[in-house]
Structure 1
């Protein structure tokens, strides 16, 4: 395996790592919101955002390389990494929506007492 391929694999695995961490944080945020622990849930969303920032830095590096004319071989690992990243972003968006829903539920339960 040549150095360029190894570098692409490392970048791809790092995207997968950060996307996976972000997804886990978003799922934990949903669990916390379900328990009406909204501050903790929002902290988990913030942690997810930090992981996304790391993944996006890697993505930006690849995009800048391509803009400078450096061609990267698109391999299955990179496609898999992008899939992980997009899925994690969707989970985070849904987590934010669910936090709002649980906040409404809590307010409604408080009003019904």
Structure 2
């Protein structure tokens, strides 16, 4: 499968996304699969609590934060906000390489593509 984002096409079957809350400095991390149905969230984790970063009731506490499996069907697109005001944006990792996605002030769209 191929993941399309910010003008890039990556031949990957899984990837991770993470970002850090601008005030609380809490990290939000997600693992996704690229499928024929779209992008499927598999696992999520936050390192601590912060405004708008509360874990769902089914999350379990582990040494490195709260973990859960999102109950969301595959998404045709995933839209990431980029305000340009947080001092850091989204990081995407796949196949051992990581990319800092640009903070353009416009949404970034991720999708499964051919």
Larger Rg: 1
**Fold shared by both chains (TM-score > 0.5):** no
Please classify the TM superposition score into its range, dividing by the shorter chain length: under 0.3
Work out which structure has the larger RCO, using CA pairs closer than 8 Å and 6 or more positions apart in sequence: 1
Q: Which has the higher helix share?
A: 1
Higher strand share: 2
